[in-house]
Amino acid sequence: MKSTFRLIRRFVKILLLSLIGLFILNVALLIFVFTQAEPNFGGWTRANELGDALIKNSDGTFTLSENGTKILEETSAWAILVEDKTGDVIWHSDNLPGEVPLHYSVAQISYCTRGYIEDYPTTTASYGDDLIFMGYPKDVYWKHMWPAFDYQLIANAPKLVLLFLAVNCLAILFIYFASTSGVLKSVKPIVAAIEDLPAGKEIYVKEKGLWSDLAAALNRSCEKLMRQDRELKKKERARANWISGVSHDIRTPLSMVMGYASQLEESMSLSEKDRHKAAIICQQSLKIKNLINDLNLSSKLEYNMQPLCLETVNLVGIARQCAVDFMNTDLDGKYPLTWEMDEDMPPCIIRGDKNLLSRALNNLLNNVQSHNPDGCAIAVKVRKDQDICSICVADNGVGISDAQMERLQNTPHYMMSDDGTEEPRHGLGLLIVRQIVLAHHGILSFRPGNEGGFLVEMKFHCDSLKEK
């Protein structure tokens, strides 16, 4: 709807600017035309100049000076001098047309003064008591014979001009809106449909009017998008159901395998070698169980099916407890852990899910252990900068290649090994960590560590999860 109003405003602005531009252009053209045309007073001025150039001789004849002759030649005009008492022509130029009369009555003089002599436009000038007529070619001047106007019309001319301009503008606006109303009416449902597309709404635009082809194309596009969306949701539901089904079906036999393997590991009737094999079975079964749990948790987080049990928690306490639990399980001492935190750092209090936050940090620590079977040093650093609390887990182990780092940053799901080996792979653990951090409106970043190895940092806003 807002786009339609913007379109209308744009059209109105273009129309108004066009009207103003046309008005300015017309005024400029009129000025140019009138400056190039012969001035209205030019003919009368020449008649006066001709009178000054006409010289009366002592014998009563008249002689035209060179200046007068030049005036007549420049304008292709002719001239006569009419005597006041008799109305006779007592002098005329040499180029006088033959149809021009040589005698005039008072009535004829009155007519010729404001009009024409034999269709020749004339101008006049006094010569003593006599009258000079200067005639021009028939296509030089157009003369208004009765220049008389109503006084009120002239007095109200400015108002009338403004009134005509206003009426014309209103007429143009009416014509414009009448002609574009159909276009806007056709565009409005198309714009509304396009605005509804990002919301995933199913739309349909009637295929009629000026934009019927566009409406048809939009309907086809929407139908295709909706079909793709349904297929994608169907695939995602199938994947989630498959993970859930496999997890459920494998849990019982896996528990039996782990139970029997644990009994065999503790059985004194077996040799040391066989008990060691049973211990390996227990360890690998535990990995399978953890993998299934990770897959379930990742699927629930991805589809927002894992509810957050929000409570007020201290990130420092969670990080310290996870670090202590990890150190207690490292019986061989292959993964020495260093705790780094300022002594005077205030508590990092947020509202979050304590179990999920602990799971994220444990995943990072277990990830270090999985990818560095020969052992490495681990550092857990907790920092607070204003309202941002960060927890960093870094190691000096084998690290990760640039290619793996690029794929890890751009791949939403865990990566398979590309080298065909059975080395542990990064991905699923970090995916769960990323999903947990995002669920708490935090930021997850990872990069090579300063001393080699791998570094992962989680940042949380202390006020990010206030209850709404």
* Cα–Cα distance, 299 to 241 (Å, whole number): 10
CB neighbours of 378 closer than 8 A, spacing ≥ 6? 326, 335, 336, 337, 338, 365, 368, 393, 394, 395
Instruction: Among 301, 319, 336, identify where a domain stops.
Output: 301
Considering the domain architecture, whether residues 370 and 382 belong to the same structural domain is answered as yes
SS3 content of the chain, % helix, strand, coil (to 5): 55, 15, 30
* Cα–Cα distance, 143 to 155 (Å, whole number): 24
Pairing of strands 378-385, 337-341: parallel
Cα–Cα nearest to 77, from 62, 92, 57, 55 = 92
For residue 332, is it within any domain?
Answer: yes
Considering the domain architecture, whether residues 397 and 251 belong to the same structural domain is answered as no
Q: Return the C-alpha torsion angle 236, 242, 248, 251, nearest 10.
A: -110
Considering the domain architecture, whether residues 273 and 377 belong to the same structural domain is answered as no
What does the radius of gyration of the chain's CA atoms come to, in whole angstroms? 51
Q: What confidence tens digit (pLDDT) does each residue in 375-388 have? A: 899 999 999 888 89
Considering the domain architecture, whether residues 323 and 438 belong to the same structural domain is answered as yes
Considering the domain architecture, whether residues 276 and 365 belong to the same structural domain is answered as no
Cβ–Cβ < 8 Å for 216, 207: yes
**Amino acid sitting at position 146:** W
Q: Which two tokens stand for residue 417?
A: 């090994």
3-class secondary structure per residue, 185-205: HHHHHHHHHHHHHHHCCCCCC
For residue 100, is it within any domain?
Answer: yes
CA distances from 24 to 27, 31, 159, 161 (A): 5, 11, 20, 16
* Cα–Cα distance, 272 to 277 (Å, whole number): 9
Write the CATH number for 296.
1.10.287
For residue 195, is it within any domain?
Answer: no
For residue 109, is it within any domain?
Answer: yes
Considering the domain architecture, whether residues 19 and 53 belong to the same structural domain is answered as no
For residue 356, is it within any domain?
Answer: yes
Cα-to-chain-centroid distance, residue 62: 84
CB neighbours of 132 closer than 8 A, spacing ≥ 6? 47, 50, 51, 54, 79, 80, 81, 82, 124, 125, 126
Which residues are paired to 129 by β-bridges? none
Instruction: Among 285, 301, 317, identify where a domain stops.
Output: 301
Write the CATH number for 424.
3.30.565.10
For residue 196, is it within any domain?
Answer: no
pLDDT at 459: 92
Considering the domain architecture, whether residues 108 and 175 belong to the same structural domain is answered as no
pLDDT at 305: 57
For residue 194, is it within any domain?
Answer: no
Cα–Cα nearest to 291, from 424, 395, 200, 404 = 424
Considering the domain architecture, whether residues 46 and 90 belong to the same structural domain is answered as yes
Instruction: Among 92, 107, 135, identify where a domain stops.
Output: 135
Considering the domain architecture, whether residues 336 and 371 belong to the same structural domain is answered as yes
pLDDT at 190: 78
For residue 258, is it within any domain?
Answer: yes
Other beta carbons within 10 angstroms of residue 283's beta carbon come to 12
pLDDT at 302: 66
The whole domain housing 171 covers: 2-38+150-188
Cα–Cα nearest to 194, from 459, 453, 1, 423 = 1
Total number of domains constituting the chain: 4
- SS3 at position 460: strand
Sheet with 388-395: strands ordered across: 337-341, 378-385, 388-395, 454-461, 443-448
Considering the domain architecture, whether residues 33 and 47 belong to the same structural domain is answered as no
pLDDT at 400: 79
Which residues are paired to 135 by β-bridges? 78, 122
Q: Which two tokens stand for residue 85?
A: 């008492």
* Cα–Cα distance, 365 to 372 (Å, whole number): 11
Q: Which two tokens stand for residue 227?
A: 């079909």
Q: Distance from first CA to last CA of the chain, Å, rounded?
A: 30
Residue 397: left (phi > 0), alpha (psi -120 to 50), or beta? beta
Cα-to-chain-centroid distance, residue 151: 58
* Cα–Cα distance, 81 to 53 (Å, whole number): 13
* Cα–Cα distance, 19 to 17 (Å, whole number): 5
Name the stretches of the chain with pLDDT < 70. Answer: 1-8, 36-42, 182, 209-210, 239-240, 243-244, 246, 248, 298-307, 410-428, 463-468
Considering the domain architecture, whether residues 34 and 46 belong to the same structural domain is answered as no
pLDDT at 422: 42
Considering the domain architecture, whether residues 85 and 63 belong to the same structural domain is answered as yes
